[in-house]
Amino acid sequence: MLPGSIQISGETLSGAEIRDICESLRENSVRLLSLRGCQLSERDFGHVCRGAAESRSLAQLNLNLGIVSNINRVKQLAEALKTNRSVQSLFLHGSPLTDAGLALLNPALSIHPSLVALDLGDCMLGDEGINLICGLLPPDGAKSGLKELTLSANPGVTSKGWGRLAIAVAHSSQLRVLNLDYNPLGDQVAGMLAVAVASSRTLEVLDLEGTGLTNQSAQTLLDMVENYPTALRTLILAENNISPELQQQISDLLSEGEEEEETEAREVTAREKNPWICQNNSSSQMVLMTSGLGDSLLAETEM
């Protein structure tokens, strides 16, 4: 039987319910466990952590909205992650983690072999926390790291901390999604991020919704998208003091880049599937070979 999911939101969980959850974890029948905003005792939280530690099927763990509510729970979660080898996505959005809590959790995050997505939005982080997170975005070829990172609504981070993150993003060889929405970034930090995006070969999605940006930031981002080849495909700028015209220009340029990439990918796939198709390097035109029966051997391939 394929692993399923347990998703409970905003409920007070009984001891019997916790026992059922833990049994399912130990039986490796759970791929997704979400206890978003639920209430459970300290003892029961410990049981869940031990069940997660033993599970070999658990890929996504959602403890959003205050589940990890104190240092003792942070320690128990850290111990579970040191043993667990299967969790790929960890969501702690809305937890009063603070830099001190992240410092306790970070060693387990750093050595986890499967973790690729981390949500630390609204976790009361500051610059020290950001420094720790940068360690989860190792430079090119160093080791595996995060592909998706959410740091929404952490207003305690200063421009110094965001600058450090921008440097890490620029050199990360794996990060594809970065959510920084609802942080008071301003135009200065946006400029740093534009340089990071221009340098990154992997970042595809950047969420800057509600981050205090103006047309100055938008113009910098427009210049970046227009003049530098990047992997960026989605840039979210809603809830900022940016003109609709500038937002539309950026969106149009990103769409053009995506269409060109899809066309190139289809052509490459067609060439790989059909050795009869070759490329004329001098004219950059497709040369089409046929079987002699008049039938084209070039097939359209949908990505």
| pLDDT per position as a tens digit, 245-283 | 999 999 999 998 665 555 554 555 545 555 544 344 443
Domain encompassing residue 192: 124-261
**Model's pTM, two decimal places?**
0.84
Domain boundary among 228, 243, 261: 261
What is the per-residue pLDDT for 266?
A: 54
Q: Are residues 89 and 209 in the same domain?
A: no
Is 75 contained in some domain?
A: yes
Tell me which amino acid residue 290 is.
T
Q: Which of 226, 221, 288, 219 is nearest to 257 (CA)?
A: 226
Domain stops at, among 65, 90, 115: 115
Lowest mean pLDDT among 25-39, 126-140, 147-161, 263-277: 263-277
Same domain for 96 and 147, yes or no, is no
Rg of the chain over all Cα atoms, to the nearest angstrom: 23
Q: Mean pLDDT across the chain, nearest whole number?
A: 87
pLDDT at position 301 over 50:
no
Whether 282 is covered by a domain: the verdict is: no
Give exposure, 260-286, as e/b (b: 16+ Cβ within 10 Å): eeeeeeebeebeeebeebeeeeeeeee
Can you give the CATH number for the domain in which 229 is found? 3.80.10.10
Q: Among 115, 142, 170, give the residue marking a domain's end.
A: 115
Task: Please tell me the total count of domains within the chain.
Answer: 2
Based on the domain organization, do 109 and 145 belong to the same domain? no
